[in-house]
Structure 1
C-alpha cells in the first residue's frame, strides 16, 4: 500500500495514492544535497489534492500541474468555482493556484507535476492562469508528449534539460490552442445538466457523505426517483446507488487513513459512519484488516 512521499522542497506529506512513481521523482539529477528540478508522472485515479478534510478544500502547491482525463470525471474545486473534467480533457494549473482535486468513480488518466525551475526561459511560456480544453479522442499526440517528457526526465545526459524545455514549449503551444470544454459549476454538482445522471449523483454524494443524507434525499435533490437513480447507476457503473455511496465512503476513509493523522474514530464520524464499529466492519469486509492495522501496514 502506498502513502505518497515527503516533498523535498516543503517537507509536507503529499497524498497522491499512486504506484512507485509517486514515491520518487522520475529524475534526480545531481547530488542529494542539491536536488535538481524534476518531473513526476502520476496516475490520475490516485491524485487527491487539497486540505486534509473529508471533502478536500482548495490549497496551493509549488508545482505546475497538467491533468489529462481519459475516463470518468475529475472534480476540480477553486476558491470561487467548481469544474468537472470529463474524458478527453486536458487542464493546466500553474503553481501557486489554490485548488482541490478529487477523482470520482472510474476516473482515469495522468497527472504531470512540473517543477517551476524547468519552465524558465521557455521559447513559448506556459500559461499564467489555469485553463483547460478538449482533446481529439483519436489524437495520440498528448499521450506521446507525456511519455516523451517522462523519458527525458529519466535521462542524465547534458542535453536532457534542453529536450525537456523543448517539449514544455510545445506543450505551451498546444494549451494555447485547446478547444474550451471544462464545465464550471457554480451551484451544487448535482445540478450540472451536462453530466450524466450517475455522474451527477456521484459528484453530489461526494459532498454529502457526512450529513446523513439518504439515497432518497439525494435522488430528490437530483429531481429523480430512487428507481431512476438506481437504473442510471447500474447502467453507468454496474452498481446500485447505495453501493456506490458505500464505495465512495470507504475510498475516502482509505485516503484519510493514508494521508492524515486523524484517528479511525474521528474519520468514522467525519464520513457519516454510525460508529467506529461500523467503519471497522466495512474495512474488514473490503480489506481483511481493521483501520488501525491498515494504516500501520503502510
Structure 2
C-alpha cells in the first residue's frame, strides 16, 4: 500500500484500528493480564521483549488481517522490531493493515483539570525514522479530567500543535484528547471539547486533515459534527476502561465512529493458550469490535 491507498483504507475501510501501543508503566499490567507474571522477566529489555512476543503473536494470527482490522498503533520499540524476519510495519502492510506509531512520552501532572503531554524534543527524528519504515501516521494522548473550558482549550491547542508537526513530515496525526470516563461532568465537557476541536479544525489550512481518537461520548453522536468535518479523515474511539461488551455496546450507538481499542481487544488473550485457542479468542474479539464499528444501532 502506498500513502494514497492507506488513506483510502482508513477513510473507507470496513473495520477498526487495533491499539498495540502499551508502553512504560502500563506494560507490566498488560503482561500480567496476558498471563506473564513479573518474575518471568528481569529489567526493561526483557519486559519489552515479552510484550513484543505478544504483539508478534497477534500480528501473525490468521484472524488479524486487513479484512476487519484496517490499522494498528505501535509502540516505538515494536515499530523498530521484527516479525517473521520483516520489519513490523512492513509485515502489517502486507496484511492490509495500516501502521501508526504512538509518539507521546507520557503526561504532565494535572493542571486546570487536564494533563498535557510531556515535551517531545526528539519528535522530528522519530517521525523521520517512522516515515522511512512506511508508517502512515501517529497517535498522541493527553487526558481531560474535568469540564474546564480553559484546560480543554489548552489540551486541544497542544494536540493540534503536535499534529501540525506530524503533518509537516507527510504523516497523518491521530489527536487523542482522552476524556476520563470517571469524570462526573463528562457530558458537559464533551460538548466543550467538540466545539474547541471544531474551532481548531476550521483554522487548519485547506487540504490538511487529522484523525481524532476520543472517549465514547456519554450522549451518543455528540461528535457527529467531527465525523462529518472535511478536515477529519476518521474519528476513532478508545475503550477507556470499559469492558469489551460495554465498549462495543456504547460504540455501536455512535454513527461514523470506529474502534481503536487496546484492553478491550486483548482482555481474553493468554500466553498459555495454544495457537488455535489464541487465534479463535482473538477472532471473537475482532468480530465483536468490527460489528460495533460498522453495524450501528439506534441510541
How does the TM-score come out when normalised to structure 1?
A: 0.29
Q: Which has the higher contact order (CA 8 A, sep 6+)?
A: 2
Q: Which has the higher helix share?
A: 2
How does the TM-score come out when normalised to structure 2?
A: 0.29
